[in-house]
Amino acid sequence: MNELKGKVALVTGANGGIGLETAIGLAKRGATVVLAVRNPDKGLAAQKTVIERTGSKRIELLTLDLASLTSVRTAAAEFLERHDRLDLLINNAGVMLSSHQLTDDGFEATFGVNHLGHFLLTNLLLDRLIATGSARIINVSSAGHALTRGLKFDDLLYTRRRYNGVVAYCESKLANVLFTTELARRLSHTDVVTHSLHPGVVRTRLARDGDGGWLGNTLSAIGGPFLISPERGAATTLHVATSDKAGKTTGKYWSKSRIKRARLPKSEAKDAARLWEVSAELVGLEATAKAA
């Protein structure tokens, strides 16, 4: 199982859960895997786990705090200095928060981490992905994207609305899908493909690692008997990262390792383009991927 030998993969949120299992799966397939993590101590523990479970020595750490645009820029610059190629960018990290919190830059934290941080990271690494050729960008979303009727462009960051953790999470997951839609359009003149996916309802510390609030405990108590393991949750990500079919298509939404139809508003294309422009302005991005 060495189909990824010589390739470089970067996985955000790789210190536990789906991200860790994704990193292990990629390492088993021969890839050099960069674990992008917020907490260095947890990162070291994850690195040790990946090495022990795969026997690979090509496991690196990269400090990345998606709640800080400065950290995102620093991490991107460090990666570009280390590697002359990037074959797989897996935007996996995510939070679900029961209370309203802000990122270092003043953004509502769920949207800031789940979408804006990954939006900036992806754009900063785009040139390297394009230069590598046949690269893939995978955005881990959720079936929760279908539980919202659309993005509230007049208040994306909850400066006026009453905060609701579940709604904020679902909106951020819709943003992941719309980001994929627009990214695929803008990269249509290249051989880089991008996909979003639903990993399943996975037993992870997604909510509890956010703020330890009632939301994660409640979801775990209610859904516990029906949750799948992180290893099973990583299966769709690994399929999209390695399958021939995923390499020959772009802009698709996957679930259970199959292409599914995402439940998106009729204004999908318009909303995707608008989200891109708003996001670029929020993160201070001067140069974005050019439309074909």
Alpha-carbon radius of gyration of the chain: 17
* 163 tagged catalytic: no
Q: Which of 158, 163, 169, 253 is catalytic?
A: 169
Partners of residue 37 on adjacent β-strands: 63
Partners of residue 35 on adjacent β-strands: 11, 61
Contact, 227 vs 202, CB < 8 A? yes
Q: Residue 224 gets which letter from DSSP?
A: G
Query: The tokens of 51 are what?
Result: 């090495």
Three-state SS for 148-173 is CCCCCCCCCCCCCCCCCHHHHHHHHH
- Phi first, then psi: give them for residue 144, nearest 5 degrees: -60, -15
Strand order in the sheet with 32-37: 59-63, 32-37, 8-12, 88-91, 136-140, 193-198, 252-255, 258-260
**Residues catalogued as catalytic:** 169
